[in-house]
Structure 1
């Protein structure tokens, strides 16, 4: 028997099987694949065929064919047919885990992602690819909100309609590619609202979510999402702000370390002011919603997001009332103060999946905020930040200029309780 007894053949995006792959199918004693793949492949009349449904039974049958000691009469090659590139969010991972990568001979086809971008004439070395097949849709939604070029691999309950409904009024175009490579192939451009209003059936191959103003992007050296920012805790001068009403960079540095913003997350910046925390979280790849009650603040947040080349959704309204219409966040930053602060922190802490960070100047607010975090089941910790910056004096000398002290409290949902967080 060959050292690589399982041949995995990628097919289904229009291109015919190469001669060597077709020969492998024709000589196989067992061929496993989807119904349409089996129907289109040159399977020998005496070969056993298994239509892929649940993976476990198919893997057991493959193992039986490969077991020489108990079944010496079944020393025949096995071929697994899969869509596109089976090593790209495909069956190669499962087969390698069960039988070992060294026993697989993979013949990759064109992935549905590559085919979809080819259909619309766009490069995709700078695209982010996210799978919603058998996974939570929220991660795909947050990536689509944060990045200008995203390919979403869909699945039952996580198709174009559900993606469009979740994106709502976001300024994106969805390219829905269905039945790629078949005579029924369709590639349609729709708005999120149009996608949400349709029944797309089960033939969708992939959905591209595009910010059309930025689809070409720049030439890349490394494929995929851009690298994280080279620096963070940016200087206050890098943001438009009113009368120094901005979270200072020392506070932002610690807040960012506790928020842990990352691609696929949703972060709220509540009482955003200039939006400095929102912008920094977006630079790390998170989807961000900034909540601000003043109209001039809303304008500054949008201007700062544009200046730093990131997407920040800005909601004009007062917390906690306006929070009820927002999707549940992974992490929340709460800035500012006021009598409503404990109620705002309570509302955020009840819905945050991972952590809430609160910055405040007044000592009197600390006990109530700490109680709001702990009462919501979060483990609370905090510090008083006092820093002094170098400042020049006449005569080419330097002094230390103290900044106003700030209390930073954070609450973290214990891992055992994250399972029960709102999804």
Structure 2
């Protein structure tokens, strides 16, 4: 049943040096989309079979169309529980290719409370029809965006220039290491530019912002990414969130940084404009077991002068701190 060369046994048999002749049937993923009557160009296909569930779950959190190959203990119930807070609908395909074949449309909450036949295939879908502009036309549903990242501030709605500048954002995003399968927090998100650019690189993102009028949702829609917005003040707003792989702290004091460090993400990145906060932040992260490095970024941009001359216009200096746990095992999972 299905294609043994697609997350199947062919690779292992060949690695053992055995001769292989493959007689494939319709793959379980193709069958599931067919039973659901859905197109699956632009879909990401991931596996939770024989591996950690986290990356597959984060792919469902990040992308609008994901198919997941499951295993006992890493199936629709566990995915449903992990998708609490994300707007998704699920299609669960059980017993494909048998007389007991069944396709069930459900919510994450209902899936979490149901016992499913193993193994099964889960489709995780944005709740409404996926707009055409959210389906990648380059056959790379989770690759780096063609338009790049570290976009200019004009690419985002923001108020009174309260936005992480492009030069700083370039380093911050590089330090966060976003990719498909990882979950990032953007704390004190403001315009959401850092989290949005991490989402553009395939990561699942939660933006925490106390200002209910912050333009995060509008900016995320503009760039075609799904960022979960949690309205509330940190650190209290962090308590119920799923554990992240990395955190960007763009706002708040040392109490916020301490709450983040207490959750033990493998990597913490903080941007600080006030110099008197740098030493306390470094000491706090080191006391929590993080190895810390930092850089001050002081960019100057070209600006026109009358008569065709040019000058350099300075931006505010910002200190970027990166804290990393000595054994970041969560980054090494498949």
TM-score, normalization: structure 1? 0.75
CA contact (8 A) 1:126 1:217 kept: no
Residue in structure 1 matching 2:8, options 72, 90, 106: 90
1:262 paired residue number: 179
User: Residues 220 and 242 (structure 1 numbering): CA distance in 2 closer, same or farther, change over 3 Å?
Assistant: closer
Corresponding residue number in structure 1 for 2:290: 378
Match of 2:107 among 183, 191, 201: 191
Instruction: Show CA shifts across 1:121-166 (max 9, x none).
Output: 2222311111112222221111001111100111111121111111
Structure 2 Cα separation of the partners of residues 333 and 250 of structure 1? 16
- Aligned residue number for residue 18 of structure 1: none
Q: Which residue of 2 aligns with 1:110?
A: 26
Q: RMSD over aligned Cα, in angstroms? A: 1.9
Q: Residues 409, 420 of structure 1: CA spacing in aligned structure 2 closer, same or farther, 3 A cutoff?
A: closer
Is the CA contact (8 Å cut-off) linking 1:86 and 1:108 kept in structure 2? Answer: yes
Contact 1:281–1:288 (CA<8 Å) still a contact in 2?
Answer: yes
Alpha-carbon spacing, 1:117–1:251, altered in 2? closer, same or farther (3 Å): same
Whole-Å separation in 2 of the counterparts to 1:342 and 1:110: 55
Note if contact 1:357-1:411 (Cα within 8 Å) is conserved in structure 2.
yes
Q: Which of residues 151, 163, 181 is equivalent to 1:234?
A: 151
- Name the CA distance, whole Å, in 1 between partners of 2:136 and 2:315: 41
Alignment-derived partner of residue 164 in structure 2: 247
Give the Cα separation in 2 of the matches to 1:420 and 1:393: 48
Q: In structure 1, the residue corresponding to 2:321 is in which secondary structure?
A: strand
Partner of 1:153: 69
Aligned partners of 2:302, 2:66: CA distance in 1, in Å?
A: 44
Distance in 2 (alpha carbons) for counterparts of 1:144 and 1:131: 11
**Alignment partner, residue 310 of structure 1:** 225
Once the two structures are superposed, what CA deviation does each residue of 1:320-351 show, in whole Å capped at 9, x if it has no partner?
111111111111110134xxx21211222232
TM-score (norm 2): 0.94
For these two proteins, the number of residue pairs brought into alignment is 330
Corresponding position: 1:171 with 2:83? no
Could you tell me whether the CA contact under 8 Å between 2:245 and 2:330 is conserved in 1? no
Shift of 1:309: 0.5
Which of 192, 213, 219 is equivalent to 1:275? 192
Which structure has more RCO (C-alpha within 8 Å, separation ≥ 6)?
2
| Shift in Å, 1:362 | 0.7
Cα deviation for residue 222 of structure 1 reads 4.8
For residues 53-92 of structure 1, what are the structure 2 equivalents within 5 Å? 84-92=2-10
After superposition, the C-alpha distances for 1:50-91 in whole angstroms (9 at most, x for unaligned) are xxxxxxxxxxxxxxxxxxxxxxxxxxxxxxxxxx10111111
Q: Is contact 1:169–1:193 with CA below 8 Å preserved after alignment? A: no
Match of 1:285 among 180, 184, 202: 202
Tell me the distance in 1 between the aligned counterparts of 2:31 and 2:330. 37
Return the match for 2:316 from 404, 407, 420. Answer: 404
**1:201, distance to aligned residue in structure 2 (A):** 3.3
Question: What is the rounded CA distance, in whole Å, between the counterparts of 2:136 and 2:203 in structure 1?
Answer: 21
Unmatched 5+ residue regions in structure 1? 1-11, 13-83
Alpha carbons of 1:352 and 1:392: their partners in 2 closer, same or farther (altered >3 Å)?
farther
CA distance in 2, matches of 1:119, 1:417: 41
Equivalent residue number for residue 35 of structure 1: none
Question: What do the CA deviations read for 1:244-300 (whole angstroms, capped 9, x no partner)?
Answer: 011000000000110010001000000001101011110001000000011112xx0
Of 197, 212, 216, the match for 1:295: 212
- How far the C-alpha of 1:216 sits from its partner, in A, is 7.0
Given the superposition, is the C-alpha separation of residues 89 and 216 from structure 1 closer, same or farther in structure 2, using an over 3 Å criterion?
farther
Counterpart of 2:21 in 1: which secondary structure?
A: strand
Rounded Cα–Cα distance in structure 1 between residues aligned with 2:102 and 2:292:
52
User: Pick from 234, 238, 244: which aligns with 1:319?
Assistant: 234
1:367-420 deviations in Å (ceiling 9; x for gaps): 111012111211100011111100111222211011111111111122x35369
